[in-house]
């Protein structure tokens, strides 16, 4: 992977790490399902009126993949993640737990896509996982079992979204993000109406909180459309085993932003874990030169 593409992946890492803080602030101000529904509806509208549905190499829209991507990445991932953060999961810990999706992605890709995994990638993944385990061990006391399980389910949802993106072939990543967001918004609004009531949505429009709106706008555009466009483009260009491990750096940025903006502390043990994550990522993505 050339340096410019690595830098693109790192840009997404920084945006998504900061987005955990944004989500935490948002779900403290409004119900979690409504926050996710508004985020993805804003990501879809008005862009959906100007961007055509994604087409594959045969000129047809793979609706099964578009719907599958929207339900896995938009609906399932953020329904679980927003709820986990709402019931008390710290933003930094949420960014950490979610990144086990890289390992779920590699496992699913091995069975579904028949992608070969090298020994160096396995060793790199295990090294990074050891780093995540160190941070998770330290942070465990600040999170109960329920939000932890929700975060794991969110990670599994993200892994399926990665595989669906890969299976969909070379289609426009921005178009996939926009139309996938439209698919995600519908069941999220339904969840919100059932469990949170309509009055919260009415209050949002009648007495808008511009700070919360700014948070939702960030989640809709930089975190969803820009981040997904770059991420899906990289997945279409490179094997999932080369792209997915970059997400292991999201906990590092998530912990840093959580410390700066939310006052969540970073201990020496967490720093040590972060070093293992970075080393593991380097082992995974840097292929040895052939002599």
How far apart are the C-alpha atoms of 228 and 246, rounded to whole Å?
Answer: 14
Kindly report, residue by residue over 70-111, the tens digit of the pLDDT: 999 999 999 999 999 999 888 888 888 887 887 788 888 888
How far apart are the C-alpha atoms of 35 and 15, rounded to whole Å?
Answer: 18
How far apart are the C-alpha atoms of 103 and 108, rounded to whole Å?
Answer: 9
Residues of the chain above pLDDT 70, percent? 95
pLDDT value at 287 more than 60: no
Gap between the terminal Cα atoms of the chain: 19
Contacts of 235 (CB under 8 A, 6+ apart): 162, 165, 166, 243
The reported pLDDT for the residue numbered 291 is: 41
| Domain residue limits, the chain | 3-285
Whether the Cβ atoms of residue 247 and residue 290 lie closer than 8 Å to each other: no
How far apart are the C-alpha atoms of 10 and 128, rounded to whole Å?
Answer: 16
Kindly report, residue by residue over 212-258, the tens digit of the pLDDT: 899 999 999 998 889 888 987 888 788 877 787 787 788 888 888 88
Residues of the chain above pLDDT 90, percent? 35
Which range scores top for mean pLDDT: 30-34, 173-177, 207-211, 261-265? 30-34
What's the whole-model pTM score? Answer: 0.83
When pLDDT is cut at 50, 70 and 90, the band that residue 119 belongs to is: confident
């Amino acid at each position: 992977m050339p340096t410019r593409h690595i830098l693109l992946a790192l840009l997404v890492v920084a945006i998504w790490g900061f987005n955990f803080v944004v989500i935490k602030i948002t779900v403290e101000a409004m119900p979690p399902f409504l926050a996710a529904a508004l985020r993805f509806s804003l990501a879809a509208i008005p862009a959906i009126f100007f961007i055509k549905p994604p087409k594959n190499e045969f000129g047809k829209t793979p609706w099964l993949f578009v719907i599958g991507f929207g339900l896995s990445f938009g609906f399932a991932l953020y329904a679980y993640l927003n709820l986990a953060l709402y019931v008390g999961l710290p933003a930094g810990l949420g960014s950490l737990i979610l990144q086990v999706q890289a390992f779920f992605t590699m496992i699913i890709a091995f069975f579904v896509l028949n992608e070969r995994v090298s020994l160096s990638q396995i060793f790199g993944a295990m090294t990074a996982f050891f780093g995540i385990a160190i941070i998770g061990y330290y942070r465990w006391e600040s999170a109960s079992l329920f939000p932890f399980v929700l975060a794991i389910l969110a990670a599994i949802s993200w892994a399926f979204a990665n595989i669906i993106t890969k299976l969909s072939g070379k289609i426009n990543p921005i178009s996939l993000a926009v139309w996938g967001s439209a698919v995600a918004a519908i069941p999220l609004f339904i969840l919100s109406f059932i469990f949170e009531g309509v009055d919260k949505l009415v209050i949002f429009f009648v007495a808008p909180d511009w700070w919360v709106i700014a948070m939702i706008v960030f989640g809709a555009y930089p975190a969803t459309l820009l981040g997904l466009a770059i991420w899906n483009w990289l997945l279409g260009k490179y094997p999932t085993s080369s792209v997915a491990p970059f997400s292991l750096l999201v906990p590092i940025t998530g912990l840093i932003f959580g410390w700066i903006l939310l006052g969540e502390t970073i201990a020496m043990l967490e720093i040590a874990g972060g070093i293992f994550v970075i080393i593991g990522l380097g082992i995974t993505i840097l292929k040895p030169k052939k002599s």
